Amino acid sequence: MALSDREYQAFKREMFAFIWRELDPYESEIERTDKVPREILPKLSRARCFGLVVPKEFGGVGLTISQYVEILAELSKIHGGIRVLVHVHNTTAKAVGMLGSDKWKAELLPKIATGEASVAFGLTEPDAGTGKDLRTRAVRDGKDFVLNGRKWLITNSDIATHFMVFCHTRQESDGAGISALLVPRGAPGFRIEPLPPTMGCRGGEHGLLTFENCRVPCENLLGDEGQGLHQMTVALEVSRLLIAATSLGTAERSLELSLEFAKKRVTFGKSLAERQAIQIYLAEMGADIYALRNMIRDAAAKADRGERIPTEASMCKLFGLEAVGRVTDRALLIHGGIGYTQKYPIERLYRDARLNWLEEGTPTIQQLVIARNLLNGYKWSA
Ligand SMILES: Cc1cc2nc3c(=O)[nH]c(=O)nc-3n(C[C@H](O)[C@H](O)[C@H](O)COP(=O)(O)OP(=O)(O)OC[C@H]3O[C@@H](n4cnc5c(N)ncnc54)[C@H](O)[C@@H]3O)c2cc1C
| Contact 367 CB / ligand 1 (< 6 Å) | no
What CATH architecture applies to the domain 237-375?
A: Up-down Bundle (1.20)
* Residue 176: per-residue pLDDT: 67
Domain 121-226 has CATH 2.40.110.10: yes
Residues with Cβ within 8 Å of 282's Cβ and at least 6 positions away in sequence, in order, are: 255, 258, 259, 262, 273, 330, 334
CA separation, residue 298 to residues 135, 294, 305 (Å): 38, 6, 11
* Ranges for all domains in the chain classified under CATH 2.40.110.10: 121-226
CA separation, residue 220 to residues 144, 165, 184, 200 (Å): 9, 10, 9, 34
* Ranges for all domains in the chain classified under CATH 1.20.140.10: 237-375
Neighbours of 127 (CB within 10 A): 12
| Ligand 1 atom 42 nearest Cα | 364
> Which numeric CATH code is attached to 5-117?
1.10.540.10
Q: Where are the alpha helices (DSSP H) in the chain?
A: 5-18, 27-33, 40-46, 65-75, 80-99, 102-114, 228-235, 239-264, 276-304, 310-335, 346-353, 363-375
**Ligand 1 atom nearest residue 364's Cα:** 47
* Residue 132: per-residue pLDDT: 86
- Please give the Cα distance from 224 to 49 (Å, whole number): 30
Neighbours of 260 (CB within 10 A): 12
Q: Give the distance from CA 39 to its chain's centroid.
A: 22
**Ligand 1 atom nearest residue 201's Cα:** 1
| Ligand 1 atom 6 nearest Cα | 154
| Global confidence as pTM | 0.96
| Ligand 1 atom 52 nearest Cα | 153
Burial of 190 (0-12, 13-18, 19+ CB in 10 A): buried
Q: How far does the centroid of ligand 1 lie from the alpha carbon of residue 126, in Å?
A: 10
Determine which one of 31, 74, 125, 360 is catalytic.
360
CB 364 within 8 A of CB 129: no
**Ligand 1 atom nearest residue 122's Cα:** 11
Residue 256 annotated to the active site: no
| Contact 180 CB / ligand 1 (< 6 Å) | no
**Ligand 1 atom nearest residue 166's Cα:** 11
* pLDDT per residue of the chain (382 residues) written in tens, 0 to 9: 789 999 999 999 999 999 999 999 999 999 999 999 999 999 999 999 999 999 999 999 999 999 999 999 999 999 999 999 999 999 999 999 999 999 999 999 999 999 999 999 999 999 999 888 999 999 999 999 999 999 999 999 999 999 999 999 976 555 568 999 999 999 999 999 999 999 999 999 999 999 999 999 999 999 999 988 888 888 788 999 999 999 999 999 999 999 999 999 999 999 999 999 999 999 999 999 999 999 999 999 999 999 999 999 999 999 999 999 999 999 999 999 999 999 999 999 999 999 999 999 999 999 999 999 999 999 877 6
| Contact 154 CB / ligand 1 (< 6 Å) | yes
| Ligand 1 atom 18 nearest Cα | 358
* Residue 274: per-residue pLDDT: 98
